Structure 1
Amino acid sequence: MKIYFLGTGTSQGIPVIANNSPVCLSTDFKDKRLRTSIFVEWDNSIFQIDCGPDFRQQMLVSKCPKIDAILFTHEHADHTAGFDDIRPFCFLQKKAIPIYAQQRVINELKKRFEYVFETENRYPGAPSVEVNVIDEHNSFKVQGKIITPISVLHGDLPILGYRFDKFAYLTDVKYITDENLIKLQNLEVLVLNALRITEHPTHNNLEEALEFIKIIKPKKAFLTHIGFQLGFHEEVQKSLPKNVYLAYDNLQLTI
């Protein structure tokens, strides 16, 4: 299994527009972060998680050859605004791309991208999708692979992370129930959000993320959805436990 970090930044990315903080002015490529997203290559299948506003650029840089399914964590713009840019994959693959999300998220996508879901008088250039609604309590199968949704709270908003065999991806987490903690046992790699040093109402800060990692006990953990307030990549990395790493854009892992 291969993991490609397409973006590791928070909703505004780094650098932030018109922001002259030292991190935003950094010349270190690891301090330049597009909006958070990954794809998972599992045997012959590629599963995209979220498609934010940087999706087109991320696909060009990563040279991702296809998308077999898109899994949405939630409906916020930094995770969905690039939805229209799946069109080249639809044209290339000559079929609808399956999308997986909670019903609430599907409803929001239909509001924002109504033309994608039209069944009559469809615009010929619109993306084609096959809608699959996720039950947060049940695993589901895609391309013969079992994927387990992990329900977490993004502040008060219930959203989803995903487990693929020994790998789990959780972003925008603030709280998680004991029931869902059980689903995260025996991981090789956990990816988890860590927005900044100070507390935030809807995201883990660094201290909360590290405490979460202590509870889950993955062999390795990578932090993502990072804001400029966390600090310089290299400086923060030196302060982390030996099995915890800051992810960065275009980092690739093999599990």
Structure 2
Amino acid sequence: MQAEIVVLGSGTSMGVPTLGCGCAVCTSTDPRNRRSRPSIAVEWGDHRVVIDTGQDFREQALREKITHVDAVLYTHPHADHILGLDDLRPLSFRHHDSMPLYADDATAAVLRTVFSYTFAPDAKYPTRARVRLEPMNGQESAQIAGVRFQRIPLMHGRLAVGGYRFGNVAYLTDMNRIPEESLPLLEDLDVMILDALRWEPHPSHANVDEALGWVERVRPRQAWFTHIAHELDHAPTEAALPPHIRMAYDGLRIPITLQAETSAGERS
């Protein structure tokens, strides 16, 4: 079935423009250089799954006219990936049941602490988000509205994090290493979206050369770089890349094909 990836945000934890910076990218008039915190939505039929809700999620959702979310998948517990959770409140009120939020144990622990007024058993905040945490660890997967989402273990410096595969697409933000045991989960990809922070090395993010190396190893048919810092100007950077590797930008829509599975809602 036909689907789309919507790049809600393609920037770093500090966003682009970065506060206090007057560099050529931060002052650029190219709208592709305006990058909010990293997140995507996967849309098919009347369904939508979001991966990560950072500080910019409300503006991203308004920009893309998001009025319904079936579920949210979290990659790790850093601020630029979780702090927009509270903006799910009006969307969660539309659910007949609570909205599922999939997260590994470490991320779930942070969410329960930061949003204790939402998750505490004795929470009394009457308009708190109607959400529930669902565990997603290791290489576990879940079916959401008939589509299987597979967690991909990654390393973000010394922090174990997760990416996700759905159909022949993988989203691998905030990482600089793919463990050997995760590589079989990335075979035969049509689309790979991955971290490519800047040209210079970084202790917890892939730089452009490292990202190119991962693309060469995984060999997707098409790759898109995301989590892009203000060191990379969109147009000249993209011009230096091979034709099958492009720079993502906020609002980009990537057409994909998903395979519906028959046992919707089951865990594996």
Q: Indicate whether the TM-score tops 0.5.
A: yes
TM interval, short-chain normalised: over 0.9
SS in 1 for 2:186: coil
TM-score using structure 1 length: 0.97
| RMSD value, Cα | 1.1
Q: For the residues of structure 1 that align with 2:32 and 2:94, how far apart are their CA atoms?
A: 32
2:263 is aligned to none
1:243 is aligned to 244
1:131 is aligned to 133
1:103 and 2:137 matched: no
Instruction: Please say which of residues 240-249 and 171-180 is displaced more in the overlay.
Output: 171-180
1:32 and 2:34 matched: yes
1:162 is aligned to 164
Q: Which runs of 5+ in 2 are unaligned?
A: 257-268
Q: Which letter does structure 1 place at the counterpart of 2:59?
A: Q
1:43-54 map, 5 Å: 43-54=45-56
Check conservation: 2:104, 2:137, Cα contact below 8 A.
yes
Q: For the residues of structure 1 that align with 2:39 and 2:228, how far apart are their CA atoms?
A: 12
Q: For the residues of structure 1 that align with 2:214 and 2:137, how far apart are their CA atoms?
A: 24
Q: Which letter does structure 2 place at the counterpart of 1:71?
A: L
SS in 2 for 1:52: coil
1:227 and 2:221 matched: no
Q: For the residues of structure 2 that align with 1:120 and 1:137, how far apart are their CA atoms?
A: 32
Q: For the residues of structure 1 that align with 2:120 and 2:159, how far apart are their CA atoms?
A: 28
Q: For the residues of structure 2 that align with 1:135 and 1:211, how far apart are their CA atoms?
A: 27
Q: For the residues of structure 2 that align with 1:12 and 1:227, how far apart are their CA atoms?
A: 8
Structure 1 residue 139, shift from structure 2 partner: 2.3
1:181 is aligned to 183
Q: For the residues of structure 1 that align with 2:95 and 2:123, how far apart are their CA atoms?
A: 22
1:9 and 2:14 matched: no
- CA displacement 1:70-126 (0-9 Å, x = unmatched): 000000000011111000101233531100010110000011000111333521111
1:120 is aligned to 122
1:199 is aligned to 201
Instruction: Please say which of residues 139-148 and 243-252 is displaced more in the overlay.
Output: 139-148
Q: For the residues of structure 2 that align with 1:114 and 1:169, how far apart are their CA atoms?
A: 29
Instruction: Please say which of residues 142-151 and 159-168 is displaced more in the overlay.
Output: 142-151
SS in 2 for 1:176: coil
Identity %: 39
Q: For the residues of structure 2 that align with 1:215 and 1:208, how far apart are their CA atoms?
A: 11
1:60-99 map, 5 Å: 60-99=62-101
- CA displacement 1:33-69 (0-9 Å, x = unmatched): 0001000013432110000000100000000121000
2:261 is aligned to none
SS in 1 for 2:86: helix
1:254 is aligned to 255
Q: For the residues of structure 1 that align with 2:37 and 2:187, how far apart are their CA atoms?
A: 28
TM-score using structure 2 length: 0.92
Q: 1:179 to 1:171 in 2, by over 3 A?
A: same
Q: For the residues of structure 1 that align with 2:85 and 2:95, how far apart are their CA atoms?
A: 16
SS in 2 for 1:241: coil
Q: 1:22 to 1:209 in 2, by over 3 A?
A: same
Q: For the residues of structure 2 that align with 1:122 and 1:62, how far apart are their CA atoms?
A: 32
Q: Which runs of 5+ in 1 are unaligned?
A: none
Structure 1 residue 130, shift from structure 2 partner: 1.8
Structure 1 residue 137, shift from structure 2 partner: 2.3
